[in-house]
Amino acid sequence: MDALIRRKDTVKMLILSLLLDGLNQREIARRLNLTPQAVSEYFKELNSEGFVEGYEVTDRGLKWLTEKIYEIHTWSEEILKRVFSVNVVAIAVGRVSKRDRVRYWFENGLVYCKVDENYNAIALTDGTNEDVLIRPVSFKPPKKGKVTILPVPDVVYGGSKSVDLNKLKRLAENRFVVALGVEALIACRKAGSNAVFFGSKCGCVEAVHHGCDVLAVCTQSLLRDLIQTLISEEIEYTIES
């Protein structure tokens, strides 16, 4: 929490993270909407604390940054649990009446519930096979899904023509499918898969955090960017050969 309460620590964290991205002092000032003079003062402090040497983040700086990020992560996770433990929108399976004891579960990234003696929530509204509001006794976020990546050559190297469509169909079974790149989209269409195209990278990350396993059909030139995103989100992935 200190990093959020103390503005200086927040700015220092941002500067260190931008240094890791390879930005210089002037670029950092522009990105953070600070004057070059203000950033220069921060650099003096970071140098005196042993967190940077020139434009390089030291091991001590990395350790401090990691500790602060973990502190914020732990705090935000706790807040999320509290927020989600208040009320949750679920899809009723069958008839659910207000004040019914219901059991909720995650399926394909959505929350479902039904009347059950082994309950873990209380219904706050009525509904039959539709959206209802429930209050969990305790809320456990879904386990993260995993991403399977199927690379597709760029069009100059064969594009969708080079894809094993039978393999794509098999991998798409019981998975949320996204297509990154036009070549990947056409491969999905050829395989009869209704893949998400616009906002596909964000959709991939969102689906995983909601517990879905994802097939990311990705044009080769976009593969590096996708992998960097998955690593930053701490999402497990495998690449099909």
Is the pLDDT assigned to residue 79 strictly greater than 80? no
Number of domains in the chain: 3
Q: What is the CATH number of the domain that holds 47?
A: 1.10.10.10
208 domain-assigned: yes
Residues 151 and 230 in one domain: yes
- Identify the domain containing residue 128 by its residue range: 88-136
Residues 11 and 77 in one domain: yes
pLDDT given for residue 6 in this prediction: 77
Residues 158 and 229 in one domain: yes
Q: Which of 229, 218, 220, 226 is nearest to 171 (CA)?
A: 218
Is the pLDDT assigned to residue 196 strictly greater than 60? yes
Residues 156 and 184 in one domain: yes
Question: 17-31, 40-54, 72-86, 172-186 — which one is most confidently predicted on average?
Answer: 172-186
141 domain-assigned: no
Question: In the listed set 83, 102, 124, which residue is the last one of a domain according to the structure?
Answer: 83
CA distances in angstroms from 239 to 147, 150, 175, 223, 236, listed in the order given: 9, 6, 15, 10, 11
168 domain-assigned: yes
Residues 7 and 64 in one domain: yes
Residues 41 and 107 in one domain: no
114 domain-assigned: yes
Residues 27 and 74 in one domain: yes
What is the length of the chain? Answer: 241
**What is the rounded average pLDDT for all residues in the chain?**
92
Residues 151 and 235 in one domain: yes
Max intra-chain CA distance, the chain: 65
Q: What is the CATH number of the domain that holds 155?
A: 3.40.1010.10
**Confidence tier at 77 by pLDDT (50, 70, 90):** confident
Residues 11 and 51 in one domain: yes
Cβ(150)–Cβ(216) below 8 Å = yes
Give the DSSP letter string of 198-235.
Answer: TTHHHHHHHHHHTT--EEEEEEGGGHHHHHHHHHHTT-
DSSP-derived 3-state class of residue 176: strand
Residues 71 and 109 in one domain: no
> Pairing between strand 110-115 and 101-107?
antiparallel
Contacts of 131 (CB under 8 A, 6+ apart): 89, 90, 91, 92
Is the pLDDT assigned to residue 94 strictly greater than 70? yes
Mean pLDDT of 176-200: 97
Contacts of 157 (CB under 8 A, 6+ apart): 220
Report d(CA 222, CA 201) in Å as an integer.
Answer: 10
Residues 67 and 119 in one domain: no
pLDDT given for residue 93 in this prediction: 98
